[in-house]
Every structure is written in C-alpha cells, then in structure tokens.
Amino acid sequence: MEDFTISELYRKLRDKDISALEVAKKYIDRIKEEDNNIGAFLSFDEERAISSAKLADKEISEGKGSLLTGIPFALKDNILVEDLKNTCASKILKDYIAPYDATCFKKLKEKGAVLLGKTNLDEFAMGASTENSAFSITKNPKDKERVPGGSSGGSAAAVSSNMCVFALGSDTGGSIRQPASFCSVVGLKPTYGAVSRYGLTAFASSLDQIGPLSKNVEDAKIVFNVIKGKDINDSTSVDYKKREEKKNLKIGLPKEYFADGLDKEVERLISKEIEKIKKLGFEIKEISLPNTKYVIPVYYLTSSPEASSNLSRFDGIKYGLSIQGEKTNNLFDVYSKTREEGFGDEVKRRIILGTYALSSGYYDAYYLKAQKVRTLIARDFDNAFKDVDIIISPVSPFSAFKIGEKKDDPLSMYLCDILTAPVSLAGLPALSLPLKVNDLPVGLQIIGRHFEEENIFKFAKILEENE
C-alpha cells in the first residue's frame, strides 16, 4: 500500500480514482501480510471495516462526508469501541467486550473514518517499549530487532509500516511522543483536557490524554481538530477555543534537557536541527527548567498512586477475569488470586508503589509532596513561556533500544520518560516531529503553552517543509 496521507487519500476518493471499499481491502490485506512480522495489532475487525467503507462510499457518492470519510485508522486497545474487545493488553481483561464507544472514536466514526482494529500496548499503558503486553511484543518497523517505544507502540508501528493512515494513542508520561520518535512518525500529546478521556481506560487520571499518531503534521492537525472539545461525559474536558497564532515565534532551549545522559547521536541530530532553525530566522534563547531533576520521582509518585486507585476496580467481581474455585474460600481469595494471575509484573510493581505512597503515614511524605513539586515543575514552564513561545528538546535521550535490552531493569526503563514526563505533569501540549536521519529515527519534541496547539503545528510544519 502506498504511503498515503489523509489529504492525498481524500483527493483520490473524491476524484473516484479509488473507492473507500477498495482502500479498506488494501489495508486489510496489508495487515494480513505484514503484521505477523511486526505485531502492531491485537485484533482487527474486517467485517466492521468493510461495512464502514461501504457507508463511506455512499456518503462520498452523495457529495457528503468529510476529510476523514473513508480513511482507515487504528485505535490503541485501551480506547473503547462498543461490542469490540478492550483488553488493555492484560490477561485480566482478555475477553472483556466494551459496552459503549469512547467519545474520540464516536467523533471519528461520525466523520466517516474506517476503523481497522485495535493496537498493542504495554499493559494498561504502563511501559516505554510495548514489551509489557500480556499477548505479544511489537517490533519496530524501522528495525525489527528493536522496540517501537511505548506504551502506544502498536499504534506507532501500524502508522510507520503503512498498515493504517493514522492511529490514536494515549499519552500519560510520553506514551505517544516516545513511540512516534522511535518509529519516525508524528505524535501529538494535546493539552490536558483538550480531548475527552471518556472511554479511555484510566491509568493516571490527572495525566492521561488521547492524541493522534500520523504520517505528517497536517494529518495530526486534521485528526486533533476532530477529536478535541468539551464532552459532558468528562468533567476534565474543556470547550476548546483556538488561541491567536503568534507571527514571530521565539524558541526556547532548556539547558537541563541537553545535560549529561544524552546519546551522542541524538545530541548531534538535535544540534543540527537547531542550526537549521537558526538559519530559518527564528530567535533562539536558552532557558532553564530547574526542577527537571525531580521529574522522575514526581511522575512515578503521581502516576502510580492514581493507577493503584484506578485499577482497584479490576477485582474479579464486576467484570473481566475472575479466579474462583477450590483455592478461593472467601472474597479476599477471589480478589488476590484474580489480581495475582491477571496483572503482569510491571502493573503489579506500580500498584504496590502507588498503594504504599497512599498508605497511612506515607501519604504526606510521598504523594502530597510530589504534588507540591509538580506545581513547581509547572511553574518552571510558566516562567519560561514569559520569554519564549515554543520550547524544543529531544523526545528521548536515546533512539530505539533492542528488544529485551532494558526489560529487567525497571529504573532504566523509567528514565525513558525524563524528557517527556515534565510536559505531562504540567498539562502542556507537545508534538514529536521525526528528523531526517540515515540510521535509527530520532524525534524533536516541540512544546507549547496550554491550548496553543496551533503554534506547535505552525512551527512543526515549517520544519517539516524545510527538511
């Protein structure tokens, strides 16, 4: 299948060069051919895709529809679609069927987009490599010995290998941006509250945000403009009002993001991009985000307690896996055996850490203190944005690592989030833009003020057009 963008495929569909049904069949065939080698999808629904494509053709023939009518896409398997499995890549939800549609999916469906299937992820979105899935390991299409990043690794790999035109993922501490960087696609984490979380299986409720992974900046903008906005089912969502675009963008370089620990090749490529930005006439200023050093403990003492609370609903009683029998003599046994068998090691690790941080005598010392420092991290960005309009940095300190390389070293894996988690803690929007490389992909992180995605798109588009 050709490397179509949304706009290119839209034109072909409108000009009747190809039908939506033909497009859907081509992408389904590609998934069948390619996905055995990559493992991007946990499930795909051929019947639903064919039915949606036929409806799209009818809309197009009547002169109706939108930019997304007939466009094939994929969803991370923690975003609900009515009557489809929603496993979150966990044994505890192996056979769970979603009872309703997530708001973001409903909006895409209303625009005529064609769902191909659900993509792999780290279990309950906890991980940075998509190795923590209970069902399979996803491989990086650019180098199949390496990880695609995580936790939205399946969505990034599906877009990168042309098995769909775009996909949705979720980003809690970098889970859209890091796999986008590793797989050489565009990935946007919107401002917290810009996109409804209704129908997203919760990991850390004060951090989770849904966003697109796409072939280029324009596609990310198209999808974002469809899924954004207030939703009565999500009290944290907002009535998104586009802010005025800045004409002369000032660019900030946080010195803490270019300190020791940055891979030499990543540093070289980012430095080369900075030189290009200077030649394009942008003013660049060094800035400081002094509380960056506290990001990893603050992030994990925020996300893990929230995960502990959110995942308490998976108890073997209401839905999902339930272990009952000779070994379960009482209700506590059902709880403990179900959770022991249903959750993987990484999820258990975070539940234990989170429960400890919330326990009597430790709440003030850990969770509450982390929230106070989180405020300081957000304030760092507020101060920086008084002088600049956009902040740039690498997405990750390194490029895609080999499968299994960090699997048994949780701390090393947690450090993958060091450049992306600050943005999540501050609730800011950020985009991963793939750089032109000859070897392993590297992404440039473009960070904006709250609800100023337009400035991010504008700047990213200029860089993309001048590659």
Q: Looking at residue 364, what DSSP letter applies? A: I
Q: Point out the catalytic residue in the list 175, 214, 308, 432.
A: 175
Give SS3 for 143. Answer: strand
How many CA atoms lie less than 13 Å away from 294 in the CB half-sphere?
19
Instruction: Work out whether the CA dihedral 137, 91, 169, 83 comes out positive or negative.
Output: positive
From the list 384, 373, 374, 396, the residue with the least C-alpha distance to 174 is 396
From the list 23, 30, 67, 68, the residue with the least C-alpha distance to 49 is 23
Q: What is the DSSP string of 385-442?
A: TTT-SEEEEESSSS-PPBTTSSTT-HHHHHGGGTTTHHHHHHT--EEEEE---SSS--
From the list 309, 295, 310, the residue with the least C-alpha distance to 425 is 295
Helix H or strand E encompassing 368 = none
Residue 99 phi, psi dihedral angles, 5° rounding: -90, -10
Task: Give the 3-state secondary structure of 187-230.
Answer: EEECCCCCECCCCECCCCCCCCEEEEEECCHHHHHHHHHHHECC
- Please state at what angle helix 295-310 crosses helix 369-384, rounded to 10 degrees: 120
Q: Point out the catalytic residue in the list 19, 76, 106, 458.
A: 76
Task: Determine what percent of the chain falls in helix, strand and coil, rounding each to the nearest 5.
Answer: 45, 15, 40
Give SS3 for 137. Answer: coil
Determine whether 308 is an active site residue.
no
Determine whether 151 is an active site residue.
yes
- Determine the Cα–Cα distance for residues 390 and 123; give it in Å rounded to an integer: 33
From the list 14, 119, 36, the residue with the least C-alpha distance to 73 is 119
Q: Point out the catalytic residue in the list 151, 308, 396, 432.
A: 151
From the list 183, 155, 207, 214, the residue with the least C-alpha distance to 457 is 214
Q: What is the DSSP string of 12-40?
A: HHHTTSS-HHHHHHHHHHHHHHHHHHH--
Determine whether 51 is an active site residue.
no
Give SS3 for 85. Answer: strand
Q: Which residues are catalytic?
A: 76, 151, 175
